[in-house]
């Protein structure tokens, strides 16, 4: 049956790993793990919970009866209560102590944090591999002179590898932000309905120390150093905003890269990976469109706009909590992760599997190099004894004539020949060729690329070498 909407993020774009993290199986089994962590900790601190109850709960983490849960939720209008009853149905002896003292956000919010942490860990791995791919590209093309652009107008030459360091710098910044978010995430913990832990204080007969220990034990069982120091019923929704802001930053970096690739593709200097039977256009059979880079731009736009969702949610919460966050967060958080997962796979695929055409790069550079060389020609000829003002006027005259030939007549840029033919310059072909050595126009591009890779990129890749070697799969 195909009569229901399914998100393209699941069917077309995202990886199995990211979809698993935000799957129902992972979500609801994590709820059960949290209920077990709560019961285990409560027992350790003296509540009357038996080993048999705990064993029963542990035996039924993954056998979730979704039909029962759906039927109960339709009746109760409460997803957590539906799953409490569903869990209790397969754990009859433990039914009475499941969720003891907790509120819905105990499983909901703590699971959200766990999923975001696991999602960020996967994003980090993908980022490291993308950085490695771009670094290989930069190293390979560090000395390939290329026309640079400002305002998308021809500017002083750079190298293709140096341009790639600009992409790398953005990605390294993103990686630092991802790592900061991972290290800073904490669980909500178990603070009850308004964040005061009153229900747990009652369970432990007013023993505040046991309540604090309970929360810390749960955090450690779930792999976290601790919980946020204070909360309402929920953790601050600024946490969601901070996490999605990092994802939005990655989207920005990838969109900038994809735009550069699309422009290079237009100039025939770069082609994306293109399979043998791939169709570029249903009408124009000759076309080879940069569709993967266009997809990066498209998904990145979605993520950047999605960051507004947690921003508005964080700003609009009332006192200790309101429920107008729930429906939005169910959509905005998972889909941001799934989209960035797809974006990074595409980024890695394009940069590692694309084709550079050095002859086209050289051709475009040579089209503009004569104009860029005029100052060097002027200085050389003055050193030979020429009159600077006479030569300046001659260059102006020749440049305008050459530009007119290119723009009005569609001819080649013949400025250099005009200069050779002008007796005011008194230049030989050999002298002109030495002045026009393209490597003299790229400044420190090669050295900057080498030093950036050595000083900034290589240490990051070395520190994360266990993350390298990730395969990416592009479905369509």
SS (H, E, C) the chain: CCCCCCCHHHHHHCCHHHHHHCCHHHHHHHHHHHHHHHHHHHHHCCCCCCHHHHHHHHCCCCCCCHHHHHHHHHHHCCHHHHHHHHHHHHCCCCHHHCCCCCCHHHHHHHHHHHHHHHHHHHHHHHHHHHHHHHHHHHHHCCCCEEEEEECCEEEEEEEHHHHHHHHHHHHHHHHHHHHHHHHHCCECCCCCCCCCCHHHHHHCCCCHHHHHHHHHHHHHHCCCCCECCCCCCCCCCHHHHHHHHHHHHHHHHHHHHHHHHHHHHHCCCEECCCCCCCCCCCCCCCCCCCHHHHHHHHHHHHHHHHCHHHHHHHHCCCCCCCHHHHHHHHHHHHHHHHHHHHHHHHHHHHHHHCEECHHHHHHHHHHHHHHHCHHHHHHHHHHCCCCHHHHHHHHHHHHHHHHHHHHHHCCCCCHHHHHHHCCCCCCCHHHHHHHCCHHHHCCCHHHHHHHHHHHHHHHHHHHCHHHCCCCCCCCC
CA–CA dist 256, 291 (Å, integer): 15
| CA distance readout (Å), 285 to 174, 247, 272, 289, 357 | 39, 37, 17, 11, 22
CA–CA dist 473, 77 (Å, integer): 40
CA–CA dist 309, 321 (Å, integer): 17
Among 93, 266, 281, 451, the active-site one is: 281
Among 151, 183, 276, 282, the active-site one is: 151
Question: Is 83 annotated in the active site?
Answer: no
Question: Is 151 annotated in the active site?
Answer: yes
Q: Give the residue numbers marked as catalytic.
A: 151, 281
């Amino acid at each position: 049956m195909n009569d229901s909407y399914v998100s393209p993020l699941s069917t077309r774009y995202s990886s199995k790993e990211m979809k698993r993290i935000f799957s129902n199986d992972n979500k609801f089994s994590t709820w059960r793990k949290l209920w077990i962590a709560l019961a285990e900790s409560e027992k350790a601190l003296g509540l009357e919970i038996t080993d048999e109850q705990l064993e029963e709960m542990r035996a039924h983490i993954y056998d979730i009866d979704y039909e029962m849960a759906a039927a109960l939720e339709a009746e109760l209008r409460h997803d957590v209560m539906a799953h409490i009853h569903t869990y209790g149905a397969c754990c009859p002896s433990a039914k009475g102590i499941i969720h003891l003292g907790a509120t819905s956000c105990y499983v909901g919010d703590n699971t959200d944090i766990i999923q975001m942490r696991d999602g960020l860990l996967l994003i980090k791995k993908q980022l490291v591999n993308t950085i490695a791919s771009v670094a290989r590209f930069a190293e390979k093309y560090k000395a390939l002179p290329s026309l640079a652009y400002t305002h998308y107008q021809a500017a002083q030459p750079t190298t293709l590898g140096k341009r790639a360091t600009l992409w790398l710098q953005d990605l390294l910044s993103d990686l630092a932000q991802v790592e900061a978010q991972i290290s800073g995430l904490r669980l909500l913990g178990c603070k009850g309905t308004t964040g005061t832990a009153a229900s747990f204080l009652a369970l432990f007969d007013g023993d505040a120390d046991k309540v604090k220990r309970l929360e810390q034990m749960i955090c450690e069982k779930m792999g976290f150093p601790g919980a946020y120091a204070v909360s309402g019923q929920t953790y601050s929704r600024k946490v969601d905003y901070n996490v999605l802001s990092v994802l939005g930053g990655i989207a920005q970096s990838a969109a900038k890269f994809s735009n550069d690739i699309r422009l290079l593709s237009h100039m025939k200097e770069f082609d994306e990976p293109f399979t043998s039977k791939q169709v570029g256009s249903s009408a124009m059979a000759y076309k080879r469109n940069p569709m993967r880079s266009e997809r990066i731009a498209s998904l990145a736009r979605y993520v950047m706009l999605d960051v507004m969702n947690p921003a508005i949610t964080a700003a609009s919460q009332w006192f200790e909590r309101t429920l107008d966050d729930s429906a939005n967060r169910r959509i905005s958080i998972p889909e941001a992760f799934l989209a960035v997962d797809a974006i990074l796979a595409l980024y890695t695929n394009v940069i590692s599997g694309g084709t550079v055409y050095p002859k086209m790069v050289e051709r475009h550079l040579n089209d503009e190099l004569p104009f860029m060389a005029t100052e060097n020609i002027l200085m050389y000829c003055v050193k030979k004894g020429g009159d600077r003002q006479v030569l300046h006027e001659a260059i102006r005259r020749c440049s305008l004539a050459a530009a007119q030939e290119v723009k009005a007549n569609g001819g080649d840029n013949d400025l250099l020949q005009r200069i050779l033919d002008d007796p005011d310059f008194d230049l030989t072909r050999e002298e002109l060729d030495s002045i026009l050595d393209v490597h003299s126009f790229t400044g420190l591009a090669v050295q900057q690329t080498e030093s950036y890779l050595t000083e900034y990129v290589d240490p990051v890749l070395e520190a994360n070498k266990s993350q390298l070697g990730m395969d990416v799969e592009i479905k369509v």
